[in-house]
Amino acid sequence: MAIRLGCIADDFTGATDLANNLVRAGMRVVQLIDVPAPDTETPQDADAVVIALKSRTVPAAEAVEVSLRALEWLRSAGAEQIYFKYCSTFDSTPAGNIGPVTEALMDALGTDFTVATPAFPDNGRTVFKGHLFVGDVLLAESGMRHHPLTPMTDSNLVSVLGAQTGRPVGLIDHKAVAAGPEAIEARIATLRKDGIGAAVVDAVSNDDLVRLGAAVAGLPLVTAGSGLAIGLPANWGIEPSPEAAQLPAASGHSAVVAGSVSAATNGQVRAFLDTGRPGFSVDPMRIAAGEDVAAEALAFADAHLSSEGPVLIYSTESPDAVRDVQGRLGAAEAGELVERTLARVAQGLVERGVRRLVVAGGETSGAVVQALGLTGLRIGPQIDPGVPWCAAPLAGGDTLHITLKSGNFGGPDFFTTSFDLLGNGESQ
C-alpha cells in the first residue's frame, strides 16, 4: 500500500513529536530511524512515514544530501505530499539548515512555493506578524537565546528564514489565516505571483493550523514544526481514532537519560532529585580528562535499579555551567563527548534490564537511538504535548518502551509521571 504523507524530521525527538500529532489526528504512522535502504519495504498499513534524521546541526551540505535521500525513499513509497519538520523554536543558524533543506526539497519536487510555520500552540509556540513567541515571550527573549548549538537571537522568522535562502520570503498573516482556507489560498496565489518562494504563516491556535492544513492540501511540500500535522490527515478523509496509539504491555526496569540543557529539562532534573530519587551527574570535564564516567554511571545504576522506580543519569546543567564547559572544550566537542557517554550509558542500562527509558534532548536522543540500534518506532499514547511513548523491538526479542523528550517539552514531574502512563508491568 502506498503512503499518503512522507515526513522528513531534522531530529529524533522532533520526529516523534510529529508522529504523535499525526497519530492523534488518526493517521497510522511508522517512524523510521535514518534513511532506510532503497529496497526496504514500505511499512504495511501506514498512512504516513516519518524519517527521523539527525540533520539539524550538521553542515548544511550534509543536511541537504541526507534530506534528499529521505525524499527519494518517501517518493518511491508513494508519498503524495512531503512534510519537512523542524523545531518549534526554529532552531537554525544563518548557514542553515532550514533554508537550504527547504530549497533543495523544493527543487527536487519541482515546486516554486512552500509554507513555513513552527507554530505549536499546545506547547506555547505561536507565530504572529511573522514573529515567533515561546510562551509569553518572543523567541529571542526565551531560553533559546542560550541554546548551546543554535542560539536564536532574532524572533522575526521572515528575516531568519530570509538569511538562510536565496528565495524571497513572505508572510501569510493572521488576518488571512483567521479568514479561512479560501483566504489563505488567495494569499498564496498573490505571493506566488509576486515571486515569493516561501511564506512564514501566522498561527496562534489549533484552529488556525486546521484552516492552514486545509489550504495547503495541494502543495507538494509543507515545512513546519509538528503543529501543522493536526490539520493534514483530514485532507485524506482521515479522522481521529483511539486505536492508532496502542502499544504492547510494558515491563522491566525504568530509567531516565537526560542530555538536554534546556530550561524545562533543568527543572525536571531538579524536581526528580528533590523527591530523593537516585541521580548520577555526568561531568564533561571528567570525560575530557579521560575518566570512564560511563562505567561509573552504570555502577551507580547497578546499585539503584529496582522496583522502587526510575534511576536518572544526567549531564543537564545551568546555562552558565554549560557556557563554562564550552569555553574550555569547545561547544561541538563538549556536546559530542557527552552524547557518546550518554549513548554508552543507555546501552548499558538496556543490557541491565531497563525496558522503559526516557531520553531527554534531541541530539541526545539521536545518539541513544543509534547506539541501541533501533530502526523503527511504533508511536503510542501521548504523555505531554509533543511527547508520546513509543515501542521498539530489541535484538533479543524484547520490547523497549522509549520516549524521546524534546528538551523544552514536558511538565515539571515528567521524569516520574511519564512511567505511570505505561501501567504496572512486572516491575517498575
Ligand X SMILES: O=C(O)[C@@H](O)C(=O)CO
Contact flag: residue 335 with ligand ATP (CB under 6 A): yes
Which runs of consecutive H residues, i.e. helices, occur in 137-240?
157-162, 174-179, 181-193, 206-215
Nearer to ligand X among residue 88 and residue 142 (C-beta): 88
Report the half-sphere exposure of 307 (CA within 13 A, side-chain side): 5
17 binds, among ligand ATP, ligand X, none (CB under 5 to 8 A by kind): ligand X
CB of 265 to ligand ATP, least distance (A): 6
Nearer to ligand ATP among residue 55 and residue 251 (C-beta): 55
385: left (phi over 0), alpha (psi -120 to 50) or beta: beta
- Pairwise CA distance, residues 317 & 334, whole Å: 13
Candidate ranges 47-55, 246-254, 319-327, 417-425; the one touching ligand ATP (CB under 6 A): 319-327
Q: Exposure string (b/e) for 192-212, b if CB count within 10 Å is 16 or more?
A: eeeebbbbbbbbbbeebbbbb
Nearer to ligand ATP among residue 163 and residue 263 (C-beta): 263
Please give the single-letter amino acid code of residue 407.
Answer: G
Question: SS3 breakdown of the chain: % helix, strand, coil, rounded to 5?
Answer: 40, 20, 35
31 binds, among ligand ATP, ligand X, none (CB under 5 to 8 A by kind): none
Nearer to ligand X among residue 89 and residue 92 (C-beta): 89
Contact flag: residue 252 with ligand X (CB under 6 A): no
Of the candidates 248, 256, 242, 246, the residue with the CA atom closest to the CA atom of residue 393: 248
Which runs of consecutive H residues, i.e. helices, occur in 356-421?
362-371, 414-420
Nearer to ligand X among residue 11 and residue 384 (C-beta): 11
Residues 1-60 touching ligand ATP, rule: CB under 6 A, are 11, 13
- Give the other-Cβ count within 10 Å of 84's Cβ: 23
Contact 117, 89 (CB under 8 A): no
208 binds, among ligand ATP, ligand X, none (CB under 5 to 8 A by kind): none
- Pairwise CA distance, residues 127 & 137, whole Å: 11
- Provide the mask over 242-261, with x wherever binding to ligand ATP is found by CB under 6 A and - wherever it is not: -----------------xxx
DSSP 278: -
- Provide the mask over 46-85, with x wherever binding to ligand X is found by CB under 6 A and - wherever it is not: ----------------------------------------
Nearer to ligand X among residue 254 and residue 406 (C-beta): 406
CB of 192 to ligand ATP, least distance (A): 33
Grouping H, G, I as helix, E, B as strand and the rest as coil, residue 224 is strand
Residues 342-381 touching ligand ATP, rule: CB under 6 A, are 361-364
Report the half-sphere exposure of 186 (CA within 13 A, side-chain side): 8
Contact flag: residue 88 with ligand X (CB under 6 A): yes
Contact flag: residue 268 with ligand X (CB under 6 A): no
Candidate ranges 38-46, 161-169, 227-235, 334-342; the one touching ligand ATP (CB under 6 A): 334-342
260 binds, among ligand X, ligand ATP, none (CB under 5 to 8 A by kind): ligand ATP
Which residues contact residue 112 at a Cβ distance below 8 angstroms, ignoring those fewer than 6 apart? 106, 192, 197
Nearer to ligand ATP among residue 251 and residue 266 (C-beta): 266
DSSP 407: T
Closest residue to ligand X using C-beta atoms: 14
- Pairwise CA distance, residues 230 & 239, whole Å: 10
Total binding residues toward ligand ATP, as defined by CB under 6 A: 25
Nearer to ligand X among residue 17 and residue 208 (C-beta): 17
The only residue of 17, 47, 339, 384 in contact with ligand X, by rule CB under 6 A: 17
Phi, psi of 29 (to 5 degrees): -125, 135
Candidate ranges 6-14, 198-206, 371-379, 417-425; the one touching ligand X (CB under 6 A): 6-14
Sign, Cα dihedral of 284, 253, 11, 85: negative
- Provide the mask over 129-148, with x wherever binding to ligand ATP is found by CB under 6 A and - wherever it is not: -------------------x
Nearer to ligand ATP among residue 79 and residue 132 (C-beta): 132
The only residue of 6, 8, 14, 48 in contact with ligand X, by rule CB under 6 A: 14
Query: What CA dihedral angle connects 157, 211, 67 and 8, to 10 degrees?
Result: 120
Burial of 37 (0-12, 13-18, 19+ CB in 10 A): exposed
386 binds, among ligand X, ligand ATP, none (CB under 5 to 8 A by kind): ligand X
Residues that bind ligand ATP (CB under 6 A): 11, 13, 148, 259-262, 265, 284, 315, 317, 322, 325-326, 334-335, 338-339, 361-364, 406-408
